Amino acid sequence: MPYKKSVYVRKTDRGSWSEENMSKAIEMIRSRKMSIGEASRYYDVPKSTVGRRVLEKNKVACGSVKHLGRFTTTFSKEFEDELVQYVKDMESRFFGITYLDLRRLAFQLAEKNNLKHQFNKEKGLAGKKWMRLFMKRQSSLALRQPEATSYARATGFNRPAVHQFFTLLTEVVDKHGLDGSRIYNCDESGMKTVQQQHSTVIAVGGKKQVGSITSSERGKNVTVVCCANASGHFLPPLFVFPRKRMNPVFMDHAPTSSKGFAQDNGWMTMELFKVYLEHFVEMVKPSPDKPVCLILDGHSSHTRSIEAVDYAKSSGVILLSLPPHTTHRLQPLDVGFFKPLQTYYDRYISTWLRTHPGRTFTEYQVAEAFSHAFGKAATVATAVNSFAKCGIWPLNADIFTDADYAAAETTDRPNPGATSVTDSATESNKLPGMD
The residue among 71, 95, 118 that closes a domain is 71
Distance CA 171, CA 126 (A): 55
Q: Is residue 414 part of a domain?
A: yes
Question: Which residues make Cβ contacts (< 8 Å) with residue 12, sequence separation at least 6?
Answer: none
Q: Are 22 and 42 in contact (CB under 8 A)?
A: no
- The DSSP letter of residue 287 is B
Say which CATH number the domain at 230 has: 3.30.420.10
Question: Which is more confident, 352 or 156?
Answer: 352
> What span, in angstroms and rounded, lies between the C-alpha atoms of 146 and 94?
9
Instruction: Tell how far CA 108 is from the center of its chain.
Output: 31
Angstrom distances, CA of residue 36 to CA of 26, 31, 60: 9, 11, 21
Whether the predicted pLDDT of 417 surpasses 50: no
Residues 113 and 29 in one domain: no
**Rounded to a whole number, what is the largest CA-CA distance in the chain?**
105
Asked whether residue 306 is domain-assigned, the answer is yes
Q: Do 64 and 100 belong together in one domain?
A: no
Asked if residue 273 lies in contact with residue 321, where contact means CB atoms within 8 angstroms, the answer is no
d(CA 338, CA 130): 42
211 part of a folded domain: no
| pLDDT score at 303 | 66
Q: How confident is the model at residue 144 (pLDDT cuts 50, 70, 90)?
A: confident
Cα-to-chain-centroid distance, residue 200: 23
Residue 52: predicted pLDDT:
83
In a domain, 311, yes or no: yes
Task: Please tell me whether residues 290 and 356 are part of one structural domain.
Answer: yes
Given a contact cutoff of 8 angstroms between Cβ atoms, the answer to whether 216 and 238 are in contact is no
Interhelix angle 19-30/36-43, rounded to 10 degrees, is 150
Judged against a pLDDT cut of 70, whether residue 428 lies above it is answered with no
Instruction: Categorize the per-residue pLDDT at 343 as very low, low, confident or very high, splitting at 50, 70 and 90.
Output: very high
Higher pLDDT, 153 or 333: 333
**Same-domain check for residues 59 and 186:** no
Distance, in Å, from the CA atom of 164 to the CA atom of 323, rounded to the nearest integer, reads: 9
Domain assignment present for residue 206? The answer is: no
CA distances from 154 to 5, 33, 337 (A): 68, 62, 21
Of 258, 265, 221, 220, nearest to 239 by C-alpha is 258
The residue type at 206 = G
CA distances from 39 to 5, 25, 57 (A): 21, 5, 18
Does 403 score more than 60 pLDDT? yes
Give me the sheet containing 292-296, strands edge to edge.
259-263, 238-242, 221-229, 183-192, 292-296, 317-321
Domain count, the chain: 3
Asked whether residue 142 is domain-assigned, the answer is: no
Give the contacts of 266 (CB within 8 A, at least 6 positions apart): 190, 220, 221, 222, 223, 240, 241, 242, 243
Q: What is the pLDDT of residues 274-318, one digit of tens each?
A: 999 999 999 999 999 999 999 999 776 776 677 888 899 999 999
Q: Tell which of 71, 87, 122 closes a domain.
A: 71
Residues 224 and 286 in one domain: yes
For residues 280 and 246, membership in a common domain is answered with yes
Is the pLDDT at 86 greater than 90? The verdict is no
The DSSP bridge pattern shows strands 238-242 and 292-296 to be: unpaired
Same domain, 60 and 109: no
Domain encompassing residue 133: 77-137
Tell me, yes or no, whether 114 and 226 share the same domain. Answer: no
pLDDT digits over 177-188, tens only?
999 999 999 999
Q: Rounded to an integer, what distance in angstroms lies between the CA atom of residue 40 and that of residue 204?
A: 66
CB 376 within 8 A of CB 234: no
Three-state DSSP at 226 gives: strand
Indicate the residue among 37, 53, 71 that finishes a domain.
Answer: 71
In a domain, 179, yes or no: yes
Q: Does 67 share its domain with 83?
A: no
* Three-state DSSP class for residue 183: strand
Region of poorest pLDDT, from 114-128, 129-143, 197-211, 357-371: 197-211
pLDDT beyond 70 at 59: no
pLDDT of res. 218: 62
Residues 92 and 121 both lie in one domain: yes
Return the SS3 of 301.
helix
Per the CB < 8 A criterion, the answer to whether 195 and 350 are in contact is yes
Q: Are residues 397 and 350 in the same domain?
A: yes
In a domain, 207, yes or no: no
pLDDT, tens digit (0-9, with 9 covering 90-100), for 187-198:
999 999 988 765
Q: Are residues 53 and 92 in the same domain?
A: no
